[in-house]
Amino acid sequence: MAQTSLDHLRQEEEDLLLRTYGRYPIAVARGKGTRLWDYAGREYVDLLSGIAVIALGHCHPEVTEAIARQAGRLVHVSNLFYQQEQLVLARALLDTAHFGKVFFCNSGAEANEAAIKLARRYQQRVRMRDAYEIITFEGAFHGRTLATVAATGQARFSDGFSPLPEGFRQVPWGDLEALEAAVSEKTAGILLEIVQGEGGIRPATPAFAAGVADICARRGVLFLVDEVQCGLGRTGKWWAFQHFGLAPDILSTAKALAGGLPMGAVMSTDEAAAGFAAGSHASTFGGGALVSAAAAKVLEIIARDRLPERAAELGAWAMDRFRASGRACPGCIREVRGLGLMIGIELAVPGKEVWSALLEKGFILNLTQDTILRLLPPLTIEKADLEAFAQALEEVLTRHRQSKGH
Ligand SMILES: *Cc1c(COP(=O)(O)O)cnc(C)c1O
């Protein structure tokens, strides 16, 4: 039996890896653009892009070239040295929004950790307030470190890990009254995922997002946004908060930043940035030459190819199209929602069966919260691929309905 068969790999994993992941029944051999292939040569349409990471498609030739070139020149020297690659990237990133400073790290959770530390230290050392609490929202996902698990506030991510760090408090999504009541002299900041991803693709309404910003401004607490998943053009603007004309104090991002290499970043206003002094925070790998060169190329391509605009147009079209799929099978789809190419299809039928049938038809996507199909395709996805997916979805739903004798 080939060393690449699913059974073989499953057995190897069982022997070798700590048990943390539930895998999809595919071993991926290679990728190109919006397509993936398994070892048997079967082709899949990738509507997930490594969970919003591969925004330019797999192995984009210009990103591959930038990585190869930088790998031959300098990969890592540590943050003890000046590195031009990091500064080129910092300038490009800061050009996308109103922020004044950036810090580089290696993942989304680390970006959120840095954001939380910055908010606390700003309140305690600049504003001289004894404030440390970060308020988050139900349904959020902020990462898997102890502090970000505490910020996430969902039992299934914190089970067995107590005691969690103190200083996190959660209020219902969309509830401005509860938020207002939760803010106290202990509050350092409010952390909002503008479009909840893992929580089921829930975009904040304009009134909710503006209300959060208003409470932050009135009550003297920092406004933090987690754009680890929704950032970098996916929702139709560089940053999802820009749909609402807001100006948060601190932003965390990661997933799509370095074209598949691990990288996170925190952007801050000049005011909030005063919270850190030399030695306050650090990361050995953060902003290394290789990842920085890759990320600079990714940003260049997103801007040059106008991918945020593309995501806005294609995403709006796709959501209408998927709603039409719902009308073809009354009672099958509860809601289609999202922003740009961050799309959730909430099913009224068992999600696992539909997800499996779509995978069987060659479409890779994610199922979250048991009933929500989550689509995070490359921003370069073709309309024809989304049309083919809509037709496959209709077939699967109609077949499911017939099998249930409706
Ligand atoms: C994925 C994600 C994180 C965590 O990122 P990691 O790189 O896995 O640590 C944090 N916040 C949001 C919104 C995410 O989608």
Residue 358 Cα to ligand 1 midpoint, Å, equals 25
**Cα–Cα distance, 180 to 399 (Å, whole number):** 48
**pTM attached to this predicted model:** 0.97
> Is residue 1 scored above 70 in pLDDT?
no
Q: Among 142, 250, 283, which residue has the most ligand 1 atoms within 8 Å of its CB, making it the best to mutate?
A: 142
Stretch 45-67: mean pLDDT, rounded?
A: 98
Q: Is 369 left (phi over 0), alpha (psi -120 to 50) or beta?
A: left
Q: How confident is the model at residue 406 (pLDDT cuts 50, 70, 90)?
A: low
Residue 313 Cα to ligand 1 midpoint, Å, equals 26
Give, for 147, the enclosing helix (H) or strand (E): helix 146-152
**Helix (H/G/I), strand (E/B), else coil: 67:** helix
**Cα–Cα distance, 329 to 325 (Å, whole number):** 7
Stretch 75-82: mean pLDDT, rounded?
A: 97
The residue type of 319 is: M
> Are 263 and 290 a contacting pair, CB within 8 Å?
no
Q: Concatenated DSSP letters for 168-229? A: EEEE-TT-HHHHHHH--TTEEEEEE-SEESTTTSEEPPHHHHHHHHHHHHHHT-EEEEE-TT
Q: How confident is the model at residue 405 (pLDDT cuts 50, 70, 90)?
A: low
In the chain the domains, ranked by start, together with CATH numbers, are 4-59+306-403 (3.90.1150.10), 74-304 (3.40.640.10)
What is the tens place of the pLDDT at every residue in 346-356? 999 989 999 99
| N residues, the chain | 406
**Cα–Cα distance, 342 to 374 (Å, whole number):** 8
| Of the listed ranges 152-166, 290-304, 392-406, the one predicted with least confidence | 392-406
Q: How confident is the model at residue 400 (pLDDT cuts 50, 70, 90)?
A: confident
Residue 24: half-sphere exposure toward Cβ, Cα within 13 Å? 20
Tokens read off for 379: 């921003």
What is the tens place of the pLDDT at every residue in 12-25? 999 999 999 999 99
> Are 173 and 369 a contacting pair, CB within 8 Å?
no
Give, for 312, the enclosing helix (H) or strand (E): helix 307-328
**Cα–Cα distance, 167 to 134 (Å, whole number):** 6
What is the tens place of the pLDDT at every residue in 202-228? 999 999 999 999 999 999 999 999 999
**Cα–chain-centroid distance for residue 80?**
30
> Are 215 and 179 a contacting pair, CB within 8 Å?
yes
Residue 124 Cα to ligand 1 midpoint, Å, equals 27
How much is the pLDDT for 12?
Answer: 94
Which residue, by CA, sits nearest to atom 10 of ligand 1?
A: 142
Question: Does ligand 1 have an atom closer than 6 angstroms to the CB of 193?
Answer: yes
Residue 50 Cα to ligand 1 midpoint, Å, equals 12
Give, for 295, the enclosing helix (H) or strand (E): helix 289-304
Question: Does ligand 1 have an atom closer than 6 angstroms to the CB of 85?
Answer: no
* Closest C-alpha to 134, from 103, 179, 100: 179
Contacts of 25 (CB under 8 A, 6+ apart): 6, 359
Stretch 357-370: mean pLDDT, rounded?
A: 97
- Ligand 1, residue 144: give the atom nearest the CA: 9
**Cα–Cα distance, 36 to 260 (Å, whole number):** 15
Tokens read off for 361: 């038809």
Bridging pattern class, strands 372-375 and 342-347: antiparallel
Stretch 84-111: mean pLDDT, rounded?
A: 98
How much is the pLDDT for 2?
Answer: 66
> Are 232 and 197 a contacting pair, CB within 8 Å?
no
Average pLDDT, the chain: 97
Which residue, by CA, sits nearest to atom 8 of ligand 1?
A: 108
Q: How confident is the model at residue 4 (pLDDT cuts 50, 70, 90)?
A: confident
What is the tens place of the pLDDT at every residue in 239-274? 999 999 999 999 999 999 999 999 999 999 999 999
> Is residue 306 scored above 90 in pLDDT?
yes
> Are 294 and 70 a contacting pair, CB within 8 Å?
yes
Whether the link from the prior residue into 163 is cis, omega within 30° of 0, is: yes
> Is residue 146 scored above 80 in pLDDT?
yes
Residue 194 burial by Cβ neighbours in a 10 Å radius (0-12, 13-18, 19+): buried
**Cα–Cα distance, 70 to 298 (Å, whole number):** 14
Residue 133 burial by Cβ neighbours in a 10 Å radius (0-12, 13-18, 19+): buried
> Is residue 404 scored above 80 in pLDDT?
no
**Cα–Cα distance, 123 to 117 (Å, whole number):** 10
Residue 109 Cα to ligand 1 midpoint, Å, equals 6
